[in-house]
Structure 1
Amino acid sequence: MLKKSIEKAVSNNVLRSERDMERDQYRNPVATLDFFGVQPNMTVAELGPSSGWYTRILAPLTVENGKYIALNNSPTPGERYERGMQWRETFIEHKSGMFGHNASARFIGQTVPFAAPNSVDTVLIIRGMHGQIGRGDVNGLLAEVLETLKPGGVLGIVQHREREDFDTDPKETMRGYVKQSYIVDLVKKAGFELAATSEINANKKDPADWENGVWALQAGKPIAEKDQKFREIGESDRMTLKFVKPVK
């Protein structure tokens, strides 16, 4: 029954464009959200909604009985505050009302946590850990997520997967790929338990050795506009990791 709710939010959803849906074959949203245990009555926080690809699924999924929180990094020194609020302008105050009255946009990494302690069911970081590592305070972010999650709550991570045989610095994130072993170790040291891993979003066609990193795959383009070899490859090889906050 719960999986059917996710299926409905993915396939029977007027908010999603054709371009959104052509990526389903690579991003596997039904299987991914089901793996993380996302349910319609949960409080779900999404770090870095970007253009809103997952947002347009999570919004109708949680609008009636749950709550959606858009999380954004606090503006860095010199960065315009307005830029950091773009998610609120784009999504939360959207005239479609797709979020309901309980949705909110928050900054992460401030003196006050983005939510009350032990109040959030799930935090999702989809294709964004490389950016968090590159910002330099990923440990502070993970500490805040750990504090706000309920005991047993889930941190779900989908990330472009670096090859384990590559001698790369994980903090040099211009490639967009990060080793799975590095992320598992990083998140476990932050106090989480690794509950499960999945190959839902794996792609053996991606050699992950592009000189320009993951962006060489042209994921931002419609499939019809990609170079032929990148149409055949699809999108990046990705790890899918389910961590939980320990129940004491």
Structure 2
Amino acid sequence: MRYLLAATALAFGVPAVADDQKLPDPAAFAATHAEAISGAINHPSRAEDRARDQYRHPSETLAFFRVAPDMKVGEYAPGGGWYTRVLGHYLGGEGQLVGLYYDPTSGPFDAEAQQRIRAGAAGFPAEAAEFTGLPAEHFSAMTLDAVPEGEAGTFDRILVIRMLHNMMRWNNADSEIKTMRGLLKPGGMLGIVQHRAPEDASADYANGSKGYLRQDDVVGFVEALGFEFVGSSEVNANPRDPANWEDGVWMMPPSLGGDDAMDAQTRDLGESDRMTLLFRKRD
């Protein structure tokens, strides 16, 4: 595993490869944008979300990904609005948040599911407005099979939060990430947060079907798709998660997908152990 040993990696991580563009240190970046980050994290619309902050560390994660408030950022597979609320308020002034939805023609999507995906993208601006209280005009969205003309090469960051395992088990991770790469500017960055399997987990366990992936596998996979590995952070790590649940990550909070006895065992463990990885688009 590519765990970083420098002391700063305990919080944010440090560059894993030579960084010609001299990314700012995450702690310094966080200090520079402290007011904007704090405003987003503490916005009243997130009142019910804050219980999860201790596990998902949105402030530290944004700083590690070096997401600035004036950037154009893609949120891959927006779900219940947890990160949409953070990003929406953080980017609500000078920046832009774009929902990136699956390519409906990839993966195991029947006609009804494809229609739901397209409807989700069409409805994202209004939904994000409802989530955040900001005008719908602040937001846009697309499905990855229908990238509008002029969007290629315009994104500063794309974030894939706890979704790569689904892309792996649906067998569309390579095509989706290639499309995302095309959306990024030269030198634009892809940030991934993903449930992490132990390095000695079997390939059958760590293939996405249980929700967990091995970190080295993820790094090698994304590198092969035209990215440079910039670094990793342990900010979303949870050593209390053994990451070997027979029924997968869904046994952990917040899903608690087991019976009463299993839920009692996992309820107080926190959320899953997660890798936090940053990649730069190669020329």
The answer to whether the superposition gives a TM-score over 0.5 is yes
Report if the CA contact (8 A) 1:44-1:68 is conserved: yes
Q: 2:246: which partner in 1?
A: 211
Deviation at 1:231, TM superposition (A): 3.1
Q: 1:133 and 2:163 equivalent? A: no
Q: 1:50: which partner in 2?
A: 79
**Cα distance in 1 between the residues matched to 2:75 and 2:148:** 15
* Count of residues in Structure 1 that have an aligned counterpart in Structure 2: 240
Task: For 1:145-224, list aligned pairs within 5 A.
Answer: 145-169=180-204, 172-220=207-255
**Residue identity opposite 2:193 in structure 1:** V
Report if the CA contact (8 A) 1:133-1:171 is conserved: no
Deviation at 1:228, TM superposition (A): 4.0
Q: TM-score, normalised by structure 2?
A: 0.78
Q: Could you say if the C-alpha distance between residues 130 and 205 of structure 1 is closer, same or farther in structure 2, counting changes exceeding 3 Å?
A: same
Q: 1:3 and 2:34 equivalent? A: yes
**Cα distance in 2 between the residues matched to 1:124 and 1:143:** 14
Report if the CA contact (8 A) 1:219-1:235 is conserved: yes
**Cα distance in 2 between the residues matched to 1:233 and 1:38:** 29
Deviation at 1:180, TM superposition (A): 0.6
Report if the CA contact (8 A) 2:197-2:206 is conserved: no
Deviation at 1:147, TM superposition (A): 1.2
Aligned residue among 233, 244, 247 for 2:280? 244
Percent sequence identity is 38
**Cα distance in 2 between the residues matched to 1:100 and 1:83:** 20
Report if the CA contact (8 A) 1:214-1:236 is conserved: yes
Q: TM-score, normalised by structure 1?
A: 0.89
Report if the CA contact (8 A) 1:113-1:148 is conserved: no
Q: 1:17: which partner in 2?
A: 47
Aligned residue among 116, 122, 141 for 1:83? 116
Q: Note the alpha carbon deviations across 1:174-212, whole angstroms, 9 max, x for none.
A: 210011111100000001000111100000000001011
Deviation at 1:170, TM superposition (A): 6.9
**Cα distance in 1 between the residues matched to 2:209 and 2:224:** 24
**Cα distance in 1 between the residues matched to 2:242 and 2:276:** 18
Q: 2:55: which partner in 1?
A: 26
Q: 1:92: which partner in 2?
A: 125
* Secondary structure of 2:271's aligned partner: coil
RMSD: 2.2
Report if the CA contact (8 A) 1:60-1:99 is conserved: no
Report if the CA contact (8 A) 2:206-2:212 is conserved: no
**Cα distance in 1 between the residues matched to 2:173 and 2:149:** 15
Report if the CA contact (8 A) 1:134-1:171 is conserved: no
* Secondary structure of 1:93's aligned partner: helix
Deviation at 1:146, TM superposition (A): 1.2
Aligned residue among 8, 16, 36 for 2:65? 36
**Cα distance in 2 between the residues matched to 1:32 and 1:92:** 24
Q: Note the alpha carbon deviations across 1:63-101, whole angstroms, 9 max, x for none.
A: 121111111113334234441123543x41145452552
Q: Note the alpha carbon deviations across 1:92-141, whole angstroms, 9 max, x for none.
A: 11454525524111101x16468622200000000000011122121111
**Cα distance in 1 between the residues matched to 2:44 and 2:121:** 20
Q: Could you say if the C-alpha distance between residues 145 and 74 of structure 1 is closer, same or farther in structure 2, counting changes exceeding 3 Å?
A: closer
**Cα distance in 1 between the residues matched to 2:135 and 2:226:** 31
* Secondary structure of 2:178's aligned partner: helix
Deviation at 1:160, TM superposition (A): 0.1
**Cα distance in 1 between the residues matched to 2:187 and 2:269:** 37
**Cα distance in 2 between the residues matched to 1:2 and 1:62:** 12
Flag structure 1 segments of 5+ consecutive residues without an equivalent.
none
Flag structure 2 segments of 5+ consecutive residues without an equivalent.
1-31
